[in-house]
Amino acid sequence: MPTEEELFASVDALLGEEPQLPPPAERARLREAAGITQARLAQALKSSTQTVKNWENGRSEPKEPRLTAYQRLLKGWAAKYPAHAAPAAPTQATAAAPQPQPVPETFTGPAVSESADTAAPAQPSVAPVAPERPARPAGRAATSSQRPARKRVVPNIAAAPYQHGPLAVLDGDGTAYGVEGIVLDCPATTVVELVEWTLRESGLGAPKLNRYGKDSDPLIVLTAAAAVKLGLPERLEGHEQRRSLRLPEDHPVVKQVAKAKWQLTQRGFGPWARIYRKAQGRERQCVQLAILSWDALDERSWPGVAEMEPADIARVLGVYAQRVITPRGSTAVSGLELMTALRPPTKPERDAETGNWISGHNPGSLGTEPMDPAPPEATPEHPVVINSGWTGGFLNEEAYQWVRDVNTLSDEECTLPYAVGLDLNTAFLAAAARLVVGLSAPDHFHAPRFNPKIPGSWLADLSHIDLDPRLPSPFTPDGSRPTGPAWYQTHTLAYAQELGHDVHPIEAYLRRETGAYLDPWHDRLKTAYVDTLADMGVTKDLDDAAFLAAMEQHKQNDPEMAAVLAAIKATVKGGVGKLRERPQGKSYKQGEPWPALSRPTWRPDIRAAVISKARVNMHRKLTNMAKMTGLFPLAVLSDCVVYPSPGESPLDFLPYAASGKPQPGGFRLGPTPGLAKLKGVQSMLWAVDLMEKGLNPARHIKGGDAVLDDGE
């Protein structure tokens, strides 16, 4: 017989265990019996709706401190609504699958990232061919008692090739979490098996964004446990930058991939790996992997995502994929890839002589071949500059970094109690709207007549233009007055004309073929940005006071959608920066070409056009604000401006008409690109102190160091 001490010890051990929860189906029954929605429960537990769904269908379990709080709540409901009192409510154990996508036209060849590698060239075709599917390995259980019933793959995925969405997050137990709550069983134990399962059984992928484009290859995101199960190291170690780390060529997994006749792109097996075979017929064979524990999701672009539960990661990446593009690397790479996906370089056309279908140029695109920039548009290390001996200067179209001279502050301004920061929503995206850029190679002109409708680079002297010292100069990033001739993008000179000054270019590099190349890119990202904010409770129909209130708590309402929003903003800025990607790595030598130059999308002139227009837009608002309110800014940092204010809210100094509507031309509050939101509030004394030290209040107005949004 056990002693009393032994029994007490056993009981104490039980008491010390984690709280036990009822089965997932019972959790859902109790919540529904209480008349509480998943969203309301998530708000009470400071969690997300998707996480509550996961608890109720058995995909994940709560952790402390939510575990104890959730158990207490369920116990209370159980006392009120015992199981025998009412029939069990239907659970959400089985996730609804999205409707099958229509069969799209396909292109052969892997959709390899332009940013760093090139695979087999794509050739157009007009009809998909159904790939053969191997039988499911024997003995694999269809469902698990702890998980919802899996959605089974249809026998022929050619009938609905992407019914399971664009991507999945694979965990170490073989569970693949997809979009819309879909859960799949993945039997793969090696990377090669994973690639083949993804292409033949998973039903993952996404249709093309343009009729002449390519379908998005399926993305499999690996948790640390999944990576280890597949034979990969949990972490990549090394002294280089994390994004440049790769598995060595003699690693067993790399050898396995090569032995199975699969190929890696030039980027190798890193945090974002693309594995492909050259197309056979019309069948695409390419899968992208992202390894979470190798820092595939940068914390700055995807805040908090890598630490989420797999199902929540799938939700975040799935929303981004559906609204923007299936991630293909960093958000900067994805931003650049989106441009090409929406404006494919080629389209099928019939050869007049042979009658065969061939790849022809798609009007409005950048084409398939890289293009040398004009010398003033290039960077100092570019071969065009080195080989030509160019010494004529360069475009300096960058974002604002300006601090007002404290000697220009009036007594009235100094007595105002607050400094309030306004931040323009995705200023670069707003600048990309209806932006006409050059599509052909630059031609050189001497003493041309200025035409504001022709995109290009102009050498002109604007040093004679005298502007109010309380405003930054619109012609330089630091806001200082030009000191002599300099190179300017078309929008900058056009604004000088708008201000009433004569413009007489000395020379210019102009492009004859033009178009609004970025329009579809702008439209898709704008819709994604607005829709994501709306999901977080920030909608277009809010008045200004309600908008400010909603913005104060929008990130807390749904942390997962907040991560999507951050990724969308990073996609805009990174995509613009990639247009002038500079050399990376210690081994680079000046004058040598670097990989980015092989892309048709290496276009520093387009980047300059976006930033020039964004800076001009900012100066126009600053000028209109001064005219309407008599207020002048204290500092500007890219898309953030700081104003002295009598109150802590933008409502205390922004211009409104007698009807209560915002005055056009100045800064306006709202959730769409180009409109403003509150960045932060500090005291006026604090701002003046920073200005006297030569520091920029706009960088610190939020209460910490801001990152310069210069698009790089």
Q: Are residues 176 and 74 both part of a single domain? A: no
In a domain, 54, yes or no: yes
What does the pLDDT average to over 159-181?
90
Report the amino acid identity of residue 690: L
Q: Are residues 321 and 173 both part of a single domain? A: yes
What pLDDT does residue 84 have?
Answer: 65
Task: Report the Cα 330 to chain-centroid distance in Å.
Answer: 8
Q: What's the angle, vertex CA 422, arms to CA 420 and CA 425, rounded to 5?
A: 165
Distance, CA of 389 to CA of 484 (rounded, Å): 22
What does the pLDDT average to over 518-535?
96
- Which of 41-50, 513-522, 695-704 is the most confident on average? 513-522
- The first and second tokens of residue 105, run together, are 């036209």
What pLDDT does residue 79 have?
Answer: 87
In a domain, 451, yes or no: no
pLDDT band at 114 (very low <50, low <70, confident <90, very high): very low
What does the pLDDT average to over 584-609?
91
pLDDT band at 89 (very low <50, low <70, confident <90, very high): very low
pLDDT band at 88 (very low <50, low <70, confident <90, very high): very low
445 bridge partner residues: 508
Q: Which of 329, 356, 390 is the last residue of a domain?
A: 329
Q: Are residues 319 and 171 both part of a single domain? A: yes
In a domain, 345, yes or no: no
Ordered DSSP codes for 465-500: ----TTS--TTSTT-PPP-SEEEEEHHHHHHHHHTT
Is the C-alpha dihedral spanning 314, 316, 321, 322 positive or negative?
positive
What does the pLDDT average to over 164-180?
94
239-266, pLDDT tens digit by residue?
Answer: 455 556 889 999 999 999 999 999 999 8
Task: Report the Cα 364 to chain-centroid distance in Å.
Answer: 24
Q: Are residues 211 and 310 both part of a single domain? A: yes
Element (H, E) at 522: helix 519-535
Residue 123 has pLDDT above 90, yes or no: no
For the whole prediction, is pTM greater than 0.85? no
pLDDT band at 429 (very low <50, low <70, confident <90, very high): very high
For residues 305 and 169, the answer to whether their CB atoms sit within 8 Å is no
In a domain, 560, yes or no: no
What pLDDT does residue 651 have?
Answer: 96
Report the amino acid identity of residue 414: C
In a domain, 262, yes or no: yes
In a domain, 13, yes or no: no
Q: Are residues 324 and 212 both part of a single domain? A: yes
All residues at 6 or more sequence positions from 341 whose CB lies less than 8 Å from its CB, including other chains = 208, 209, 210, 213, 214, 216, 325
For residues 382 and 596, the answer to whether their CB atoms sit within 8 Å is no
Question: What is the pairing mode between strands 219-222 and 183-185?
Answer: unpaired
What does the pLDDT average to over 93-122?
38
Q: Which of 85, 109, 127 is the last residue of a domain?
A: 85
Q: Are residues 169 and 274 both part of a single domain? A: yes
Domain of residue 77: give its range: 19-85
Q: Are residues 164 and 257 both part of a single domain? A: yes
All residues at 6 or more sequence positions from 556 whose CB lies less than 8 Å from its CB, including other chains = none
Residue 278 has pLDDT above 90, yes or no: no
Q: Does residue 46 come out as left (phi exceeding 0), alpha (psi in the -120 to 50 range) or beta?
A: left
52-79, pLDDT tens digit by residue?
Answer: 887 888 767 888 778 888 888 998 888 8
In a domain, 358, yes or no: no
What pLDDT does residue 134 have?
Answer: 37
What does the pLDDT average to over 280-303?
89
Q: Which of 58, 85, 112 is the last residue of a domain?
A: 85
Ordered DSSP codes for 628-662: HH----SEEETTEEEEEESSSSGGGTS-B-TTSPB
What pLDDT does residue 154 have?
Answer: 41
What pLDDT does residue 82 have?
Answer: 86
Q: Are residues 66 and 192 both part of a single domain? A: no
What pLDDT does residue 144 have?
Answer: 33
Buried b (16+ CB within 10 A) or exposed e, 572-602: bbbbbbbbbbebeeeeeeeeeebbbbebbbb
Buried b (16+ CB within 10 A) or exposed e, 641-674: bbbbbeeebbeebbbeeeeeebeeebbbbbbebb
Count how many domains the chain has: 2
Residue 66's domain is classified under what CATH number? Answer: 1.10.260
* Nearest by Cα to 675 from 628, 617, 627, 626: 617
User: First CA to last CA across the chain, in angstroms?
Assistant: 74
What does the pLDDT average to over 549-564?
91
Distance, CA of 261 to CA of 10 (rounded, Å): 57
For helices 559-578 and 331-342, angle between their N-to-C axes, nearest 10 degrees:
70
What pLDDT does residue 90 have?
Answer: 42
Q: Are residues 177 and 309 both part of a single domain? A: yes
What pLDDT does residue 282 have?
Answer: 62
Residue 485 has pLDDT above 80, yes or no: yes
* Nearest by Cα to 167 from 317, 323, 331: 317
In a domain, 130, yes or no: no
All residues at 6 or more sequence positions from 282 whose CB lies less than 8 Å from its CB, including other chains = 106, 108, 125, 127, 128, 129
What pLDDT does residue 520 have?
Answer: 97
Distance, CA of 532 to CA of 319 (rounded, Å): 9
* Nearest by Cα to 543 from 691, 413, 671: 671
368-426, pLDDT tens digit by residue?
Answer: 999 999 999 999 999 999 999 999 999 999 999 999 999 999 999 999 999 999 999 99
636-675, pLDDT tens digit by residue?
Answer: 999 999 999 999 999 999 999 988 899 999 999 999 999 9
